[in-house]
Amino acid sequence: MLTIAGDIGDPATGPRIVAEALSRFGRVDTLVNNAGAFIPGPFTKYTPEQYSLMIATNLNGFFYTTQAAIEAMEKRGSGHVVNVTTTLGELGNSKVPSVLASLTKGGINAATRSLAIEYAKRGIRVNAVSPGIIKTPMHAPETHEVKAALHPMGRMGEIADIVGAILYLEAAPFVTGEILHVDGGQSAGR
């Protein structure tokens, strides 16, 4: 195990993570881009600070870390990148105004497909897991009932649901460019 402290939005952090992983383990097999910020709110009320935070965390972290990881994977001719996005990146929800999540995580969905095609013949797969609302410390227990109702299944997801999806993608060598929805049916419609 290797733990590296840093601000994922800092352009130097991702390459440092990859360099330290290479130093310790000699290779990077899989990168899971799980860092993310979520700030719901009306579009016209977002502040420049909120916009900067979302761009730094959700896009810069993804970009610089993935760039360094894929460079290392290319040298070995194999690797896998899994991006954790959000269903809101593809389907807006009038009950959860969140254009910054749509902008940033929707961009990562598009980048997932683009990178999957670009690196498919080089032995590198790129996929995404697109969660609904998952029971994490990000969501106070007193909000769980309301948030559960936003899913057709009537419940929030569990961390194990996301882990299972990532492990499935890791074990599926013929899958690339996939955005696997783990969202209690949100992406299927209402």
What's domain 30-184's architecture? 3-Layer(aba) Sandwich (3.40)
Query: Cα 69 to the chain's mean position, in Å?
Result: 15
The band of 93, judged by pLDDT with boundaries at 50, 70 and 90, is low
Q: Where are the chain's structural domains?
A: 30-184
pTM: 0.93
Note the pLDDT tens digit of each residue in 43-86: 999 999 999 999 999 999 999 999 999 999 999 999 999 999 98
Note the pLDDT tens digit of each residue in 26-51: 999 999 999 988 888 899 999 999 99
pLDDT at 97: 63
- DSSP secondary structure letters along 56-104: IIIIIHHHHHHHHHHHHHHHHT-EEEEEE--GGGTS--TTS-BHHHHHH
pLDDT at 143: 87
In the DSSP assignment, the letter for residue 41 is B
CA gap 69, 73 in Å, rounded: 6
